[in-house]
Amino acid sequence: MKEYLLSRNSEQIKLHNTYCGEQPEFLLELLNAPEVLRLDGISVSCGGCYTKFLKHKYFLSKLDHSYGMALIMWNHTRDKTQTLSALFHDISIPVFSHAGDFFLGDSLKQEASETMTSEIIRNSSQVMSFLEKNNISLSDVDDYKKYPLADNDKPRLAADRLETQLHFPLSIGSISLDVAKEIYKDITILRNEDDNPELGFKSLKYAEQFANIALDSDKKYYRSFEAITNNQMIVMILENVIKEGLINKEDIFIKTEKQIIDIIKTSGSRRLKSIWMYFEELHDKHKITVTAAEPFGNKLYVSKVNVKKRYIDPLVKAETGIYRISELSKAINESLKNYNNEVDNFYASVDIDF
């Protein structure tokens, strides 16, 4: 427990405290479970933090995100099972996060690894002991998608998306801590079109601001050519590490990124070391070229993949009722419409020298 809590950046501590002033003991009890603590060695940036693409103020881990999401759920529900489902929702995430989903052939939904959540929890003696002691069934906490405040279909807002779109922009300096706090404090629970509870906003100002932040993050990072190239190169790296017999496929679900990187750097494979060194120099020494036509060449690494769009169209409470922000803001409506109409028909390529 203390190992993780003391490792957090001061800004992360303040953000977590904003999510929920109370840090419940039952959450703290589970932070030192090996399967949970492993998430502190998995990057939210899908490995992008190891390249020169973005300047991260600090390493943002999947545990930072999962713990933050759990605090959001506890703050708004005071429901132990829903809160635990949030803490465990990424417990089966592979190394390099959704780049690992690319490796598993799931670039569009990026949910392939979630099928292992139940198995990993079931095999955790510490987590299972906790659940039994508290009379909580595995089926109540192994699928966060059953709780609409935790997860729902895009473009709706849920705790998972809320935490991601506040914490990640904060970690790369595109928003300030004060902005993140102001947005979060405007969050409330509303009823959506299906009469289900959904996180939403009390005011149009913050709903519009948050929608813009989420759209900006998706365009400039998650679906950028740089990020897609990062993810595709991670796929190539994992394929080669497995092919050379240094790890097996199961290891990507139980090891940390540092462990994988150390295996590469201490291996006797010059090729693997060259590939990783090249990856670390992406967007600095090695630049990405974007073209409409597919480029050809013996020394080109080409990326073209369909990636899910992460835009959010949150609910907002107005004097006359509850609406999606796109129904009240012409600017947001146009932005989302244009973004939805964008087609991934470009190619990103980099020269390779290994």
Domain ranges of the chain: 1-354
Contacts of 241 (CB under 8 A, 6+ apart): 247, 260, 263, 264, 272
Phi, psi at residue 302, to the nearest 5°?
Answer: -110, 135
CATH class of 1-354: mainly alpha
Phi, psi at residue 318, to the nearest 5°?
Answer: -115, 175
| In the chain, beta strands by DSSP E | 187-191, 197-201, 289-291, 300-303, 315-318, 321-324, 347-351
- Rounded (5°) CA angle 261-15-225: 45
Contacts of 248 (CB under 8 A, 6+ apart): 242
Q: What is the pLDDT of residue 108?
A: 44
Query: Strands 315-318, 197-201: parallel, antiparallel or unpaired by DSSP?
Result: parallel
Tens of pLDDT, residues 293-309: 777 665 555 566 566 78
Tens of pLDDT, residues 108-152: 444 555 578 999 999 999 999 999 999 999 999 999 999 999 999
- Rounded (5°) CA angle 312-316-321: 135
Q: How far apart are CA 65 and CA 169, in angstroms?
A: 12
Contacts of 227 (CB under 8 A, 6+ apart): 46, 48, 53, 221
Reported pTM: 0.92
pLDDT in tens, the chain (354 residues): 568 999 999 999 999 999 999 999 999 999 999 999 999 999 999 899 999 888 889 999 999 999 999 999 999 999 999 999 999 999 999 999 877 666 766 444 445 555 789 999 999 999 999 999 999 999 999 999 999 999 999 899 999 999 999 999 999 999 999 999 999 999 999 999 999 999 999 999 999 999 999 999 998 888 888 888 888 888 889 988 999 999 998 999 999 999 999 999 999 899 899 889 988 987 776 777 777 777 766 555 556 656 678 899 999 999 999 999 999 999 999 999 999 888 776 777 777 766
* Three-state SS at 33: coil
